[in-house]
């Protein structure tokens, strides 16, 4: 089951399932919710429903759990696999919980249905498969109001599948934080859940499920420099394939130059924000801002890689193409950074006249700088605007940062033997310490008085 639930808030719970015959026990979630179930994720779903959210459980099922079904041509039939698992699942009467099954690549050798099967995949391919499931389930790249509590239930399943699940969730969380300006965008909560082990020999009245925050840090850093853009736009480089297959993949994706151009615009836009050149972002000859185009490219990439990750079967070998997930995640991070900047600049609605841009209107870029913890850029920008207007900046803290910590009123200069030596005035040290502790505050920001409303 894929796509938006249409609700404002949904608890999206992923559970890796190792078999379908877990013992039915009573689970307790945060000393509140009690639920008898075979799967701990169903107890979690009931907990979040009681908390007022809609709940959805997505079971991540390795292909090795059942004999792989094939169609009349001998191809692996994923739809039949999913349908069979859905029929076998016991959901313990949770009719108001949306249930889905997502097949994931398997690793190892198994005897299934009287035959031996060899499952070939890598942790990175598993992570990529789960990542694209999550990207669609969270509806991340679409600009809507959906809010999601993301829960990773790792109470069951083979250890080989747990790290890829966390890798996928980490990538999704980073993209979410970028779109939210280093804050949550659609993911209001990310946790992982672990239940007490259930022993068939030693019975308990109930089993605790522990919910733990999964904290992921995101930084505003572009993954590539200008010399790496050509390689980043080479889609076949992310995939381990024979040369003839790589050409087919390149043809499937289409124009590589289009992706390279988009990445180049993303790098320019990012550097214009990072290095405080707001006027450059508004110059269409320098930087093209097209968030819709970037969103379309991300959709195309997701569709292409989901197709590439479809398993194949031949003579008992079930194989999933090897993907370089870390590099692929960097590609999506780059496009997401571009989408974030393009959307934010568009919402600033700065008028561009034939004679240029009203210089004071550039101050609204503070809204972007604040979002991404680059408020010092605002101090420098304001200082430069005052100079252009012929006014002398009067805020000494702003001057300090605008002059790389070398403002005249904070340093003492000594020249000796043709060399210049500088040190801070002793009387300024405590003040400088306070500035470094809190570089930017509204109270000390002596901004020129101008309307923040753009018309």
Tally of CA atoms within 13 A in the half-sphere of 315 that contains its CB: 0
* 449 within a domain of the structure (yes/no): no
Q: How are strands ordered across the β-sheet holding 207-213?
A: 33-37, 25-29, 207-213, 187-195, 147-153, 9-16, 54-62, 98-104
* 78 within a domain of the structure (yes/no): yes
* 76 within a domain of the structure (yes/no): yes
* 404 within a domain of the structure (yes/no): yes
CA distance 65 to 4: 28
Structure tokens at 417: 């033997």
* 192 bridge partner residues: 152, 212
**Measured CA angle at 446 (ends 444, 452), to 5 deg:** 115
Q: Both 275 and 336 in a single domain? A: yes
Cβ atoms of residues 91 and 40 within 8 Å:
no
Q: Both 289 and 413 in a single domain? A: no
CA distance 85 to 178: 36
Quote the pLDDT of residue 442: 54
Q: Both 423 and 401 in a single domain? A: yes
Q: Both 110 and 245 in a single domain? A: no
Residue 134: which of 63, 187, 79 has the closest Cα?
187
Quote the pLDDT of residue 445: 45
> Nearest 5°: phi and psi at 72?
-65, -20
Quote the pLDDT of residue 147: 92
> Nearest 5°: phi and psi at 421?
-120, 140
* 353 within a domain of the structure (yes/no): no
Q: Both 380 and 426 in a single domain? A: yes
Quote the pLDDT of residue 361: 87
Q: Both 44 and 157 in a single domain? A: yes
Q: What CATH number is associated with residue 143?
A: 3.40.50.10640
Q: Both 113 and 186 in a single domain? A: yes
Residue 360: which of 386, 396, 342 has the closest Cα?
386
Residues of the chain with pLDDT under 50: 1, 4-7, 443-455
Q: Both 151 and 295 in a single domain? A: no
Quote the pLDDT of residue 137: 94
Q: Both 105 and 131 in a single domain? A: yes
CA distance 413 to 382: 26
Cβ atoms of residues 161 and 126 within 8 Å:
yes
Domain that holds residue 380: 359-437
Total number of domains in the chain: 3
Choosing from 168, 183, 213, the residue where a domain stops is 213
Task: Give, in order, the Cα–Cα distances in Å from 314 to each of 68, 73, 85, 212.
Answer: 11, 11, 22, 42
Question: Containing H/E element for 41?
Answer: helix 40-50
**Measured CA angle at 247 (ends 130, 292), to 5 deg:** 55
Question: How many other CB atoms are there within 10 angstroms of residue 271's CB atom?
Answer: 17
Quote the pLDDT of residue 7: 46
> Nearest 5°: phi and psi at 149?
-100, 115
Q: Both 85 and 135 in a single domain? A: yes
Q: Both 69 and 37 in a single domain? A: yes
* 21 within a domain of the structure (yes/no): yes
Quote the pLDDT of residue 447: 43
Residues 6+ apart with CB under 8 A from 213: 190, 191
Residues 6+ apart with CB under 8 A from 175: 140, 332, 333, 336
> Nearest 5°: phi and psi at 324?
-85, 90
Cβ atoms of residues 321 and 125 within 8 Å:
yes
Question: How many other CB atoms are there within 10 angstroms of residue 245's CB atom?
Answer: 14
Quote the pLDDT of residue 260: 92
* 318 within a domain of the structure (yes/no): no
* 452 within a domain of the structure (yes/no): no
Q: Both 190 and 260 in a single domain? A: no
Choosing from 182, 213, 244, the residue where a domain stops is 213
CA distance 106 to 167: 16
Question: Where in 393-454 does DSSP place strands (E)?
Answer: 411-416, 419-424
């Amino acid at each position: 089951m894929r796509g938006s639930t249409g609700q404002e808030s949904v608890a999206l719970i992923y559970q890796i399932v190792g078999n379908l015959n877990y013992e039915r026990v009573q689970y307790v979630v945060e000393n509140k919710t009690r639920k008898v179930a075979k799967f701990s994720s169903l107890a979690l779903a009931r907990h979040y429903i009681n908390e007022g959210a809609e709940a959805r459980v997505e079971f991540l099922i390795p292909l090795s759990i059942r004999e792989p079904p094939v169609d009349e041509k001998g191809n692996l039939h994923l739809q039949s696999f999913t349908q069979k698992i859905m029929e076998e699942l016991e959901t313990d009467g949770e009719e108001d919980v949306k249930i889905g099954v997502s097949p994931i690549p398997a690793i190892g050798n198994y005897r299934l249905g009287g035959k031996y099967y060899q499952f070939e995949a890598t942790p990175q391919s598993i992570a990529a498969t789960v990542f694209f499931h999550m990207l669609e389930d969270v509806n991340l790249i679409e600009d809507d109001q959906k809010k999601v509590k993301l829960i990773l239930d790792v109470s069951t399943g083979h250890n080989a599948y747990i790290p890829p699940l966390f890798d996928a969730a980490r990538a999704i969380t980073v993209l979410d934080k970028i779109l939210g300006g280093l804050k949550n965008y659609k993911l209001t909560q990310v946790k992982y859940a672990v239940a007490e082990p259930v022993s068939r020999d030693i019975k308990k009245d109930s089993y605790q499920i522990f919910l733990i925050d999964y904290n992921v840090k995101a930084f505003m850093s572009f993954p590539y420099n200008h010399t790496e853009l050509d390689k980043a736009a080479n889609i076949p480089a992310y995939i381990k394939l024979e040369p003839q297959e790589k050409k087919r993949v390149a043809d499937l994706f289409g124009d590589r130059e289009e992706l390279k151009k988009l990445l180049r615009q993303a790098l320019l836009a990012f550097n214009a924000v990072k290095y405080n050149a707001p006027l450059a972002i508004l110059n269409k000859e320098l930087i093209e801002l097209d968030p819709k185009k970037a969103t379309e490219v991300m959709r195309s990439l997701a569709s292409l890689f989901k197709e590439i990750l479809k398993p194949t079967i031949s003579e008992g070998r079930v194989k999933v193409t090897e993907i370089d997930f870390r590099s692929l995640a960097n590609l999506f991070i780059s496009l997401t950074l571009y989408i974030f900047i393009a959307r934010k600049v568009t919402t600033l609605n700065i008028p561009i006249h034939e004679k240029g841009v009203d210089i004071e209107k550039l101050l609204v870029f503070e809204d972007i700088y604040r979002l991404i913890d680059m408020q010092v850029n605002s101090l420098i920008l304001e200082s430069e605007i005052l100079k252009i207007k012929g006014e002398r900046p009067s805020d000494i803290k702003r001057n300090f940062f605008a002059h790389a910590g070398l403002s005249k009123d904070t340093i003492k200069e000594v020249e000796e033997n043709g060399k210049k030596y500088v040190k801070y005035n002793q009387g300024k040290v405590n003040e400088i310490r306070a500035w470094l502790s809190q570089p930017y505050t509204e109270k000390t920001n002596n901004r020129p008085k101008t309307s923040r409303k753009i018309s």
